[in-house]
Amino acid sequence: MSGHSKWATTKRHKAVIDGKRGKIFSGLSKDITLAARASGGDPEFNPRLRTLIIKAKTSNMPADNIDRAIKKGTGEIPGVVYEEITYEAFAHGGVGVIVEVTTDNKNRTVAEVRATFTRFGGSLASNGALAFNFHHQGQFLIAADKTTEEKLMEVTLDAGAEDIRTHGDHFEVLSPLSAYDAVSDALAKAGIVPDTSELAWIPTNTVPVASADAAQKILKLIEALEELDDVKNVFSNAEIDEKVAAAG
């Protein structure tokens, strides 16, 4: 979704997500394990791990969970082997969807993802079928009452952010993938806690969804995908007006 649609989804699902803290911790643990396995367990020398630890602490993830995930990555304690996979797919009305998963069994995961799309009138696509419609970037969404545009510019531009967008009730900060960790560090040092921060797929072209029925089909698909244990993130190029979504 666009930054605006992503923010609307974030607000709409906040109560639900708060009730899924176990899934949030599980996803963060997998990411921390992968980061530690790739570049070591010392956050001082592993920017990606440092960013994930900040995110985990912001989510109130217990320190023991963080430490255990790091040790699984470095091999100090045994753990399953995870891999990251990105699926491209089409939802109702030709809307493009990108699904990021972290899994220890890709056959199980692809079967679950495919079945979910089929249930809601969508289908998996081949790799590269629609990724060109998206930019892979760092994305930070921050409520407008937490800071000002001037402060965000001061904090993030020097760290490598390439765009700051104002959406009324929130700001959207975009960065190249290579600058994501530096921007995350800069925000943390400034005491600005993003409402969401991730390596996101930002659509370059959106698909307007005009009817409430179509909007509900797409939103229910996204919610069902997010329910799957192995799914980490779901992005789409649907442009859904909040009034249309609420009418469903």
**DSSP-derived secondary structure for 1-38:** --HHHHHHHHHHTHHHHHTTHHHHHHHHHHHHHHHHHH
* pLDDT recorded at residue 79: 78
Helix (H) / strand (E) containing 53: helix 47-58
Task: Take residue 32 and report the two structure tokens written for it.
Answer: 């921390």
Residue 195's pLDDT is 86
Q: What is the topology classification, in CATH, of domain 3-74?
A: Arc Repressor Mutant, subunit A (1.10.10)
d(CA 216, CA 95): 13
Whole-number Å distance between alpha carbons of 8 and 195: 12
For residues 34 and 49, the answer to whether their CB atoms sit within 8 Å is no
What CA–CA distance (Å, rounded) separates 13 from 35? 28
Tell me how far apart the alpha carbons of residues 38 and 48 are, in angstroms, rounded to a whole number.
10
Q: What is the pLDDT of residues 136-173, one digit of tens each?
A: 999 999 999 999 999 999 999 999 999 999 988 899 99
DSSP state of 178: G
pLDDT for position 59: 85
C-alpha count within 13 angstroms, C-beta hemisphere, residue 202? 20
For residue 33, is pLDDT > 50? yes
Three-state secondary-structure class, residue 84: strand
Residue 132 DSSP one-character state: G
Q: What is the number of other CB atoms lying within 10 angstroms of the CB of residue 233?
A: 18
Confidence of residue 247 (pLDDT cuts 50, 70, 90): low
List all residues 6 or more positions away from 88 whose beta carbon is below 8 Å from its beta carbon.
96, 97, 98, 99, 124, 125, 126, 127, 128, 129, 130, 131
Least confident range of 8-12, 34-38, 143-147: 8-12
Query: Per-residue pLDDT tens for 208-218?
Result: 988 888 899 99
